[in-house]
Amino acid sequence: MIATIGLCVLGLVLICLGGDRLVDAAVAIARRLKIPEIVVGATIVSLGTTLPEILVSTTAAFEGSASISVGNALGSIICNTALIAGMTQLISPAKKVSRSSILWRIVLFFSVICAMIVAGNLTGGFRRPVGVLLLLCFVFYAFMNVKFPGGEDEEEEEKEEKDGSLVKELVTLAICAALLYVGSNLLVDNGIILAEKLGVPERVIAVTFIALGTSLPELVTSLTSIIKGYGNVGLGNIVGANILNLLLVIGIPATITGMPVEERALLVDAPLCMLVMAVLTIPLIFRQKSSRIQGAALLIIYVTYAVSQFMMV
């Protein structure tokens, strides 16, 4: 038991170290390529911080634990948005967000999750054709990020650019992503052992502990972004990570093996994903800024959701 707890702590330390330097490297890359911080957060950073979810879900699919794959993805979206974005917006609300950089990403997110709910209800799961379509949507998402990143009207503070080559920053980014992955694996694997000893069911572990554990990279990155004065990196990271959770975390396992989906995931978890994303993003679209009220509302939703999961055990 002591060794298990120690490995959990080690995983947390690695995640914190990787997340701290990841933000600096991402901002440096954004400035060198002259792209807005929210865009680099929604692309490069979100891909790095979503790697734990992708690998956990793919491994779970090969091992036949479909509820882990779907629950991890939907639980991570809820955790990313309600807990992490709620916390960061309560601490430091976004003051100026480009409508062009956020709108098409939000439309894509809601379109995909609505289509997934319909497909899941009609077929009882996400079969290989759905997985293939999700991966094709990822190709489209990557293309759109390159061709139409948006963010032209985003307000950026002029800060002195540090010395260092683009290659060096990319290597640093890769190393930090690896630290996030190793740390998340240590934390999640040993956390599951502890949870199972307490008799917690697989689905509850997936949508709470595993989702929280694999979302720790987003949490550390978002909090570090605020501390370092790059709040839009963290916000973009949350939005991008949520899209990747749908397209890759579910898309890859669905393409490999197909997966059944529990009715509760379609009736409760997926609609809740839509609710928390609406609370976070609708004001951003219309007002181009957020408020502490949104942050507080999101945190209340997350606490209510997490408590309800364990009340139902």
Which structural domain range is residue 63 located in?
37-152+196-311
Q: Is residue 183 part of a domain?
A: no
Question: Does some domain include residue 22?
Answer: no
Q: Is residue 229 part of a domain?
A: yes
Please write the tens of the pLDDT for every residue from 30-44: 777 777 767 777 777
Structure tokens at 214: 């694999």
The predicted pLDDT at position 307 comes to: 82
pLDDT of residue 134: 95
Predicted local confidence at residue 138, as pLDDT: 92
- Rounded Cα gap, residues 270 and 258, in angstroms: 18
The verdict on residue 281 lying in a domain is: yes
Q: Is 278 a domain residue? A: yes
Overall number of domains in the chain: 1
Residue 136 pLDDT > 50: yes
Q: Which two tokens stand for residue 30?
A: 């954004």
Query: Which pLDDT score is estimated for 50?
Result: 78
pLDDT confidence of residue 242: 93
Q: Which of 32, 33, 41 is nearest to 164 (CA)?
A: 32
* Residue 223 in tokens: 């909090």
pLDDT in tens, 98-121: 787 788 899 999 999 999 999 999
Contacts of 100 (CB under 8 A, 6+ apart): 150, 151, 152, 153
- The conformation of residue 260, written as its DSSP 8-state character, comes to E
pTM over 0.85: no
| pLDDT attached to residue 155 | 46
Length of the chain equals 313
Instruction: With respect to residue 208, please indicate whether it lies within any of the assigned structural domains.
Output: yes
Say if 130 falls within a structural domain.
Answer: yes
Helices 2-33, 231-244: crossing angle, 10 deg rounding:
110
Cα distance between residue 60 and residue 66, in whole Å: 7
DSSP H helices in the chain: 2-33, 37-40, 46-62, 66-78, 86-91, 99-123, 128-147, 166-197, 202-204, 211-214, 216-227, 231-244, 251-256, 263-264, 270-287, 292-311
The residues near 122 (Cβ < 8 Å, ≥ 6 apart) are none
Query: Can you give the CATH number for the domain in which 61 is found?
Result: 1.20.1420.30
Residue at 24 is within a domain: no
* Lookup: tokens for 207: 């949508």
Model confidence over 194-240: pLDDT tens digits? 667 767 665 566 556 666 666 677 777 777 777 777 777 778 888 88
What's the pLDDT score for residue 261?
85
Token output for 218 = 């987003």
> Among the listed ranges 17-26, 109-118, 257-266, 279-288, which one has the minimum average pLDDT value?
17-26
